Structure 1
Amino acid sequence: MTLFSRPLCAALAAAFLSAGCATRPTAPIEINLVALNDFHGHLDATKFQYNSIHASGQQTAQAGGIDTIAAAVQAWRREDKELLFVGAGDLIGASPAMSSMWADEPALEALSMAGMRISSVGNHEFDNGRAELLRQQRGGCESVRPEKACQFSKDFRGAGFTYLAANVIDDATGKPFLPAYRIEDVKGVKVGLIGAVLRNTASVVLASGIVGLTFEDEASAINRVIPAMRAEGAQVFVVLIHEGGHTPEPFDKPDCSALKGPVVDIVKKLDPAIRVIVSGHSHTGFQCKVDGRVVTQGEMGGHVLSRIKMMVDPASGAVGDIAVRNVIMKPGEYPPDARVSAFLKQAKERSEAALARPVARVAVRSIHRKESPGGETVLGGLIADAVLAATRSQGVQIGFMNMGGMRQDLDVEASLTATYGDVQIVLPFGNTIVAMDMSGAQIRALLEQQWARPGASSVSVLQVSDGFSYRWNKDAPRGQRVMRDSVTLNGKALDDAAIYRVAGNNFLAEGGDSFPAFAAAANKRDTQIRDIDAVVQFLVQRDKAGKPAGSDTPPGRIGTVQ
């Protein structure tokens, strides 16, 4: 026996509907995103040093690895099968050898296997030029790196996810070089994701590789596509941007509030409909609020994934509560993704023989990038010396190295024997060395640009080779910081009118890292000597001479005065 008869039930239902039941509010639905930034092809776990709200003092752990990332995403996808795995650029480039020796194809394949759906481009996606980026997106073997492309997999099919770039414009068409946005249907809600990269990308990549591309203001380009996205039904808007900032707060502090840097100004100019911004580039972990919007970043190298949960009204698309949690990717914490784990094992086995090849003995276990008060580093001096040694027979007198070109310290095992893989992880770009002529006056101007680089937001001290030295005054005005009488080459004062033969990597030679003085140099000749080969040869020469390279302290070529 039922409480109500069928006719009565029907009558009550009809009355309820006529009273407005059909338009009653619907409970908010949960939309989940997992974000990764600045992966840089780190297929294997690496050391992660961090501060956490859950512990006192700096902590150190092994973290990351594509197997761990895939396992975590797989576990979280069991909680929500419509979870979106997204990226904020620099997924490839400046990568360890296991990925870079194969043109980063293993990283792209592994991220695709792990379920990556969409990512903004980063500046490192342009490291080998626009044509190579398109190949990495679409697949194929026609590459500027034929010795690497399609060597891991003979039928490379490209990334299984979509790169976005709203503010990278193809000058020939006036339209975005890559799609500006993508709209995903998640639980009946249309989620629009917009990609952008730092507008100063041209200052940090090879100029020859981006001819015909213009990098526009990030916020303007993002805002410009919102109307078109609304016309296609987008209700929720998320920005994936390869630009960032820094905060002294722990990577896992909820609603951090001390964020500073370029991304803050960008966020403040965005359309009010945008509530979530996933950032990158600055290799910092944070989960902050800026003008009431959520801005996240997950450090680098796959050490941290950002979990983002949005509560959305399915009818209006209005976003309510947003929760963010940065999670360390600790190996073994999630059931493995068998397919990705097997892929990583294969990549290790394929790469191991080449990477394990011994090169030479060095003097210390870590040839590091820690800067002296003058901005000099042990590793930078070593590489500059290697550049000079490789080109001295061609008349070169001074070797230069940029800080940004050294991706990690040169760390070796207790045997003090450096392997090819140890060196490759320091210099993953495959740059070649260019010899060029500069006057003494141009070299002085170059040194002054260290504190006033057009388009750059920070100081970057060039590393210099043996025999070249100078001092600078931090309290002097910009443009006058290098002490004139202190600049010497082999003990002799630099002559403004004289012509000197100098060398640096091809990135610097084109004015990269915002050093236009290099771009103005004359009589350039690309030696076709790769920087990694120059360093390997230098280490071998020093070892054979009984004076292994390396030290705990910089050589003292660059000094400061008070």
Structure 2
Amino acid sequence: MSRLRPMPRVLGALTLALVTLAGCSSLPREPQPVAVNIVAINDLHGYLQANPFSYKDPQAPGGVRKLAAGGIATLGGMLSQLRQQDPQLLFIGAGDLVGGSPPLSAMWADEPTLDALRQMGMKLSAIGNHELDNGKAEFLRQLNGGCQSSRPDKACQFRPNYPGSGFPYLAANLLDSDTGQPLLPAYRIEEVRGVKVAFVGAVLRDVASVVSAKGMRGLQVADEAQSINQLIPELNAKGVNAIVAVVHQGGATPEPFDKQDCSQLSGDIVDVAKRLDPAVDVLISAHSHQGYLCKVGPLLVTQGNAYGHLLTHLTLQVTPGQHRVTSIQALNLLADPARYPQDQDLAKLQQEVEARSNQVLLQPVGAIAASPIARRADNAGEMPIGDLIADAHLAGGRANGAQIAFMNTGGIRSDLALEPGQTQVNYGQLATLQPFNNNLIAFDLTGRQIEQVLNQQWKGADDANILQVSQGFSYRWDAQRPLDSRVVPGSLRLNGKPLQADGNYRLVMNGFLADGGDRFSLFKSGRNRSDLGLSDLDAMLQYLKAMDQQGQPVGSSTSAGRIQRLN
């Protein structure tokens, strides 16, 4: 028997290394993730200018920092700075980019705002409820361009040829009921550094509760999560490497807007997040005007406040050749004009809009008795500015026999405050306060029906939508009573006298609320309905002028105590 001779030690080591190298060369190399940067804005609502924003800051006086944040020039400057770091950055919207806008944008049919977003390089946006304020046809005009509008006094007045938004809107769950087909594309795929990122849009399922019946005509809405989930096989077949859901629905948390992985998110968006297919990598939300970077289970859910105060910056590490996101970094960036260079082209656009608008917007209207008159609610849900608006609507409806006015808080868009040196509020401030221009509607309900509609104010333990009420009317509610019966029976009073259950009372309110908006469906039961031919804004203008001329300017810095809360 022969014995194998051992190889010399050096030769053996060399042979082993060569074998090892040969083996390594035959193994596939794991692809390295690439960075995809996404910047999102939500609920801009046509705010071209910087506007008030406050947040908790232990280092600020009183623990609250206040500043004017946003403005298109600042937002454009932020994006330019971020693009210096990544020229392939994707800028997207999450809906309500226009609608419910201040008059600086609204008086031009929001075309300057859409022009600004186009200049910022917006790639796409989910549709929000306010894009539908003026109906399907007008939204499609804003999207596609043209001047054939239901608002001929506003459309194509800023520029004679409006070219359209310049970016697509998305909605997986919005159907054109006239055709049975989707009104908009459900998704858009963007390719960055060799990876495909799918953006899937959706609007809130109960959009009909926050858009007028006129605005919803010809439209149907399906469930957000189900509509997105149905698209996952199609997106996978197209080889996408990441899926971003962009849903115009929201929530809230007591945690700071920039807290990483916040954990106390509540609201409708949580249910949507829980039902999304695990293939969705991140959920960009909107609608509730809150700032958060929260986790719902493993899913990151973000929102960037409103009015251009924040930009949400996401960095996804996406693996080429696979549907795999290895990590996501999320930041909510404060749009502080003092921290970023201004985009000069957008600054010029803003200055042009201001110059062409101020002749109308700066017209004085009348004095007010206090400043500011705030929309911050007290413990019962009553707002000083809500009192003032309801009183103005009541005054506008007196000639039609109105006894009680109601106002929905969603239609109140700002405080009312005098600027330094200002002695009278101007038209622009009032049009910012009530931008929707809804006509006032008067009708009759019984005392029993009024109590029933007030009990529609609570949807959940932490979800109250308190109507603002006019002078002379009062009631009490108890937080310990069941959600559908929180109004204390027998507590409703009109001019100090109890409402009679079978008695008839004439109410006045804006047309959106009168048609059952904001889930107050019982208002649709009103009898002897009359359109007063007077807009909510005109009612306020007339009221303030009349009271000032009488030497009795109105408004208070505190609520009037018309609504009382027990427990």
> TM-score by structure 2 length?
0.91
- Code of the residue aligned with 2:272 in structure 1: it is I
- Code of the residue aligned with 1:490 in structure 2: it is N
Tell me, in whole angstroms, the C-alpha distance in 2 between the residues paired with 1:89 and 1:52.
29
Q: Give the C-alpha shift of residue 233 in structure 1.
A: 3.1
Tell me, in whole angstroms, the C-alpha distance in 1 between the residues paired with 2:175 and 2:462.
23
CA distance 1:375–1:521, change in 2 (3 Å): same
Identity of aligned residues (%): 47
CA distance 1:505–1:171, change in 2 (3 Å): same
Query: Which residue pairs with 2:16 in the alignment?
Result: none
Counterparts of residues 273-284 of structure 1 (less than 5 Å)? 273-284=279-290
- Code of the residue aligned with 2:427 in structure 1: it is Y
Counterparts of residues 341-420 of structure 1 (less than 5 Å)? 341-414=347-420, 415-420=422-427
Tell me, in whole angstroms, the C-alpha distance in 2 between the residues paired with 1:264 and 1:254.
17
| Residue 422 of structure 2 corresponds to residue 433 of structure 1 | no
Q: How many residues align?
A: 546
Task: Point out where structure 1 has 5 or more consecutive residues left out of the alignment.
Answer: 1-15
Is 2:241–2:320's contact at 8 Å kept on the other side of the alignment?
Answer: no
Q: Give the C-alpha shift of residue 20 in structure 1.
A: 4.4
319, 326, 329: which is aligned to 1:320? 326
77, 80, 101: which is aligned to 1:95? 101
- Code of the residue aligned with 1:419 in structure 2: it is N
Tell me, in whole angstroms, the C-alpha distance in 2 between the residues paired with 1:108 and 1:501.
41
Deviations 1:137-171 (A, max 9, x none): 11122222222222212211221111111111223
Tell me, in whole angstroms, the C-alpha distance in 2 between the residues paired with 1:54 and 1:392.
50
Q: Give the C-alpha shift of residue 477 in structure 1.
A: 3.1
Tell me, in whole angstroms, the C-alpha distance in 1 between the residues paired with 2:100 and 2:492.
33
Is 1:93–1:100's contact at 8 Å kept on the other side of the alignment?
Answer: yes
Is 1:256–1:288's contact at 8 Å kept on the other side of the alignment?
Answer: yes
551, 555, 562: which is aligned to 2:556? 551
Tell me, in whole angstroms, the C-alpha distance in 1 between the residues paired with 2:303 and 2:282.
11
Is 1:286–1:296's contact at 8 Å kept on the other side of the alignment?
Answer: yes
Tell me, in whole angstroms, the C-alpha distance in 1 between the residues paired with 2:168 and 2:185.
8
Q: Once structures 1 and 2 are overlaid, which stretch shifts more, 492-501 or 276-285?
A: 492-501
CA distance 1:350–1:457, change in 2 (3 Å): farther
| Residue 262 of structure 2 corresponds to residue 256 of structure 1 | yes
CA distance 1:54–1:18, change in 2 (3 Å): farther
Query: Which residue pairs with 1:34 in the alignment?
Result: 39
Query: Which residue pairs with 2:457 in the alignment?
Result: 450
Is 1:365–1:416's contact at 8 Å kept on the other side of the alignment?
Answer: no
Query: Which residue pairs with 1:293 in the alignment?
Result: 299
CA distance 1:258–1:137, change in 2 (3 Å): same
When Rg is computed on C-alpha atoms for both structures, the one with the higher figure is 2
SS at 2:131 equivalent: helix
| Residue 528 of structure 2 corresponds to residue 502 of structure 1 | no
CA distance 1:365–1:315, change in 2 (3 Å): same
Tell me, in whole angstroms, the C-alpha distance in 2 between the residues paired with 1:457 and 1:505.
26
Q: Once structures 1 and 2 are overlaid, which stretch shifts more, 275-284 or 444-453?
A: 444-453
Q: Give the C-alpha shift of residue 360 in structure 1.
A: 0.3
Is 2:207–2:221's contact at 8 Å kept on the other side of the alignment?
Answer: yes
Tell me, in whole angstroms, the C-alpha distance in 1 between the residues paired with 2:113 and 2:46.
5
| Residue 510 of structure 2 corresponds to residue 520 of structure 1 | no
> TM-score by structure 1 length?
0.92
| Residue 164 of structure 2 corresponds to residue 158 of structure 1 | yes
233, 242, 248: which is aligned to 2:248? 242
Is 1:64–1:303's contact at 8 Å kept on the other side of the alignment?
Answer: yes
SS at 1:543 equivalent: helix
Tell me, in whole angstroms, the C-alpha distance in 2 between the residues paired with 1:55 and 1:293.
33
CA distance 1:333–1:479, change in 2 (3 Å): closer
| Residue 127 of structure 2 corresponds to residue 118 of structure 1 | no
Runs of 4+ in 1 over 6 A off after TM superposition: 16-19, 53-56
- Code of the residue aligned with 2:464 in structure 1: it is V
| Residue 426 of structure 2 corresponds to residue 422 of structure 1 | no
Deviations 1:371-424 (A, max 9, x none): 233322221111111111112112222211111110111111243410111111
Is 1:312–1:319's contact at 8 Å kept on the other side of the alignment?
Answer: yes
- Code of the residue aligned with 2:508 in structure 1: it is A
SS at 2:231 equivalent: helix
CA distance 1:379–1:54, change in 2 (3 Å): closer
Q: CA RMSD in A?
A: 2.3
Tell me, in whole angstroms, the C-alpha distance in 2 between the residues paired with 1:221 and 1:52.
40
Task: Point out where structure 2 has 5 or more consecutive residues left out of the alignment.
Answer: 1-20
Tell me, in whole angstroms, the C-alpha distance in 1 between the residues paired with 2:500 and 2:169.
49
Tell me, in whole angstroms, the C-alpha distance in 2 between the residues paired with 1:141 and 1:524.
34
